[in-house]
């Protein structure tokens, strides 16, 4: 007979056999719950009852050695389990709000133990699971994972029986709300079509409606379709979810950016032209939704420095004092999340202001009949390719004629030959894109003559009176005059007054000579 516990149903016939190694053979005897009941190796008990549950002991004794040995087996006599029933107070429950209470019972069976199953998983006690009434009662604060099937397994060593399955209907959510966009982009182009889809874990299914920037769109259902979107459709989209059984709400939001593509970028001058050492501004003109602007100078990125300053939005580039090193090609690139475009290259050519204009004459005298040249000297620009020159005489625009010609882009005026009517006040004006300066007048006096002299005076006069004569000749500078009478020099001025006249002075010849 081995040790341990053996179970038998009430009314069974119990037969037990005991043996021991001994020489001579040992005497054997039986005791039930410590009370001697019979001798011999065999114990038979008929129609056992629950009261006969207890330890059964066999004792072996050797009369010659005076040694004994015992062995005990625990015998359990009980009623078999039958008609196991699993009951619950309610099967329609709300997650986290409600508790499921199960009770396991049987029509018969003694000394039972309970095992609870959720599907194939054994249920053990924890913060949300309580076992009471010796394990016959199970209380669970339900979650969505507690829908079953639940069963109760009753056993007592004599028999075991499993209850029928019980299912729970757990209402939960909405939780784990999620919104997806199709197509999925960081930003969308005007004219795109966008589908917003909203979902959540919920039982029963949650009611879904849509909001835009906090305003109800009067749209319901799991999807929202945006057709041919414009920039005004940019904003925060929210799907609202409500479970009318759990009375719970949830929401999920997505920010959608809709941009017009950048379609134009061009560089322009703002205000005055670029003048050496003056301030100057370029701007990048754009069309479309611009999020960033970058500049290039001669194919290299341009950043703010001590003399070049970019505005906060990079749209304007200001030169505090434009320098020769700032000459070159400039471009700007305007971009946003969906597009970018670069301007054509803008050639910056810095203008030199005209600081002085002077008329230069040759050192030789201006003499009629000779070749004579006046030169317009301009200070400032390194060359005259960008400068317009014009000549004026006595305040009037100077026109070319047979004796007057311009050359070297009006820098020089040539008189060939020089005439007396070329005398006058000459000035030249120089003009470029940023300045206009006129020279001080230069007085040109052409030396000529003397031309043929003219004598004026009386042809007749009385004896004893004096006669007055005048000699003139066109000349610059004015000529000096000498008078001769009958071959003799009589005066050195343009005026001649004779001595008192006499008869011997009639017919006399008076001559004047300009020098």
DSSP string, 128-168: TEEEEGGGTEEEEE--TT----EEEEEE-SS-EEEPPPB--
Check residue 141 and give its pLDDT. Answer: 96
* Domains of the chain, start order: 4-78 (2.60.40.10), 85-167 (2.60.40.10), 172-259 (2.60.40.10), 264-341 (2.60.40.10), 356-444 (2.60.40.10), 454-514 (2.60.40)
Evaluate if residue 215 carries a pLDDT over 60.
yes
Span 422-450, mean pLDDT? 92
Confidence of residue 5 (pLDDT cuts 50, 70, 90): low
**Cα–Cα distance for residue pair 334/314, rounded to 1 Å:** 10
Check residue 255 and give its pLDDT. Answer: 97
Check residue 506 and give its pLDDT. Answer: 64
Check residue 508 and give its pLDDT. Answer: 52
Confidence of residue 109 (pLDDT cuts 50, 70, 90): confident
Confidence of residue 515 (pLDDT cuts 50, 70, 90): low
Six-digit token string for 386: 């960008």
* pLDDT tens per residue across span 223-278: 999 999 999 999 999 999 999 999 999 999 999 999 999 999 999 999 988 988 99
**Cα–Cα distance for residue pair 267/442, rounded to 1 Å:** 44
User: Please, what is the average pLDDT of the chain?
Assistant: 90
Q: Are 78 and 110 in contact (CB under 8 A)?
A: yes
């Amino acid at each position: 007979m081995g040790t341990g516990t053996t179970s038998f149903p009430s009314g069974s016939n119990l037969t037990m056999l005991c043996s021991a190694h001994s020489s001579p053979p040992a005497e054997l005897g039986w005791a039930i719950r410590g009370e001697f009941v019979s001798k011999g190796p065999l114990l038979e008990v008929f129609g056992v009852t629950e009261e006969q549950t207890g330890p059964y002991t066999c004792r072996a004794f050797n009369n010659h050695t005076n040694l004994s040995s015992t062995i005990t087996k625990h015998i359990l006599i009980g009623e078999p389990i039958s008609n196991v029933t699993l009951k619950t107070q309610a099967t329609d429950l709300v997650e986290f709000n409600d508790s499921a209470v199960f009770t396991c019972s049987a029509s018969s069976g003694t000394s039972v133990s309970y095992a609870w199953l959720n599907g194939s998983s054994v249920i053990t006690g924890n913060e949300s699971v309580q076992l009471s009434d010796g394990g016959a009662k199970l209380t669970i604060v339900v979650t969505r994972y507690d829908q079953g099937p639940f069963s109760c397994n009753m056993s007592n060593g004599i028999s075991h029986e499993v209850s029928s399955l019980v299912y729970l209907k757990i209402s939960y959510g909405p939780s784990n709300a999620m919104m997806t966009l199709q197509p999925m982009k960081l930003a969308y182009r005007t004219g795109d079509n966008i589908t917003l889809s909203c979902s959540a874990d919920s039982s029963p299914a949650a009611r879904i409606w849509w909001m835009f920037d906090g305003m109800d769109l009067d749209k319901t259902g799991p999807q929202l379709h945006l057709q041919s979107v414009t920039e005004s459709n940019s904003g925060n989209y929210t799907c609202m979810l409500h479970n009318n059984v759990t009375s719970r709400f949830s929401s999920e939001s997505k920010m959608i950016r809709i941009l017009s593509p950048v379609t134009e970028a061009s560089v322009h001058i703002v205000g005055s032209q670029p003048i050496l050492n003056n301030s100057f501004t370029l701007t990048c003109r754009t069309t479309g939704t611009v999020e960033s602007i970058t500049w290039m100078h001669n194919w290299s990125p341009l950043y703010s420095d001590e003399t070049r300053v970019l505005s906060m939005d990079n749209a304007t580039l200001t030169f505090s004092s434009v320098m020769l090193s700032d000459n070159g090609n400039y471009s700007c690139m305007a971009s946003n999340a969906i597009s970018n475009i670069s301007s054509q290259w803008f050639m910056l050519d810095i203008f030199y202001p005209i600081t002085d204009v002077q008329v230069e004459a040759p050192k030789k005298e201006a003499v009629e009949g000779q070749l004579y040249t006046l030169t317009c000297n301009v200070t400032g620009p390194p060359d005259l390719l960008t400068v317009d020159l014009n000549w004026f005489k006595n305040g009037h625009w100077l026109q070319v004629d047979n004796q007057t010609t311009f050359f070297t882009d009006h820098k020089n005026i040539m008189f060939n030959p020089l005439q007396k009517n070329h005398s006058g006040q000459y000035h030249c004006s120089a003009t470029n894109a940023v300045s206009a300066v006129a020279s001080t007048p230069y007085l040109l006096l052409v030396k000529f003559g003397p031309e043929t002299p003219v004598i004026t005076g009386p042809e007749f006069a009385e004896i004893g009176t004096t006669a007055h004569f005048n000699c003139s000749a066109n000349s610059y500078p004015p000529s000096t005059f000498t008078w001769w009478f009958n071959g003799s020099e009589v005066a050195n001025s343009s005026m001649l007054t004779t001595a008192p006249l006499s008869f011997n002075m009639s017919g006399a010849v008076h001559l004047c000579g300009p020098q």
